[in-house]
C-alpha cells in the first residue's frame, strides 16, 4: 500500500491483513463519529459559517475527557449515562470520540499511525531503556 506522509513524500506502508482490518475499522468508525458531530452542529462554524474551529481548543477538550476519567476513578464508579459501564470507561470513550472526530475532520491518518506506532513501540527496549514509568 502506497501512502503519503505528512511531509508529502510517499512511503510503502506494508500492512498485513490484521493491521488493515484495524485501520479500516478505526477509519470507518471515525468517519461515522465525525458525520454525527456535524449533524449535531459541532462543526457549524466550518460547515455553515465560513469560520474555523480552534484546534488547540479541541485538543484541550480531549484533555478534559481524561480529567473526567480521573474524576471517575476518584468519585462515583458507575456511569449514569451508559448504565452497566464505569465512569472511567465512559470518559475514556469520550476522549476517543473526540480524537476520532478531530482526526477525521482534519484528514489525519490516526488509524495507520496507531499501527505504525505500535510496531515502533514493540521494537523498543524493556521499559524503553530503563524509564521508571
List interacting residues with Mg ion (CB under 5 A).
Answer: 65, 68, 91, 94
The distance of closest approach from Cβ of residue 102 to Mg ion in the complex, given in angstroms and rounded to an integer, is 15
Of the pair 81, 127, the CB lying nearest Mg ion is at: 81
Of the pair 94, 101, the CB lying nearest Mg ion is at: 94
The distance of closest approach from Cβ of residue 41 to Mg ion in the complex, given in angstroms and rounded to an integer, is 18
Burial of 10 (0-12, 13-18, 19+ CB in 10 A): exposed
Of the pair 94, 112, the CB lying nearest Mg ion is at: 94
CA dihedral 39, 87, 92, 90 (to 10 degrees): -30
Q: Could you give the CA distance from residue 109 to residue 38 in angstroms, rounded to a whole number?
A: 19
SS3 for 17?
helix
The distance of closest approach from Cβ of residue 112 to Mg ion in the complex, given in angstroms and rounded to an integer, is 27
Amino acid at each position: 500500500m502506497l501512502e503519503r506522509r505528512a511531509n508529502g513524500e510517499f512511503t510503502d506502508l506494508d500492512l498485513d491483513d490484521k493491521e488493515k482490518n484495524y485501520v479500516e475499522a478505526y477509519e470507518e468508525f471515525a468517519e461515522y463519529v465525525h458525520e454525527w458531530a456535524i449533524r449535531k452542529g459541532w462543526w457549524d462554524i466550518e460547515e455553515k459559517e465560513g469560520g474555523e474551529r480552534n484546534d488547540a481548543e479541541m485538543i484541550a477538550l480531549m484533555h478534559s475527557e481524561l480529567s473526567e476519567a480521573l474524576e471517575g476513578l476518584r468519585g462515583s464508579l458507575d456511569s449514569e449515562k451508559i448504565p452497566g459501564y464505569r465512569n472511567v470507561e465512559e470518559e475514556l470513550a469520550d476522549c476517543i470520540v473526540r480524537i476520532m472526530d478531530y482526526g477525521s475532520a482534519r484528514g489525519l491518518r490516526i488509524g495507520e499511525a496507531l499501527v505504525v506506532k505500535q510496531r515502533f513501540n514493540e521494537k523498543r527496549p524493556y521499559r524503553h531503556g530503563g524509564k521508571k514509568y
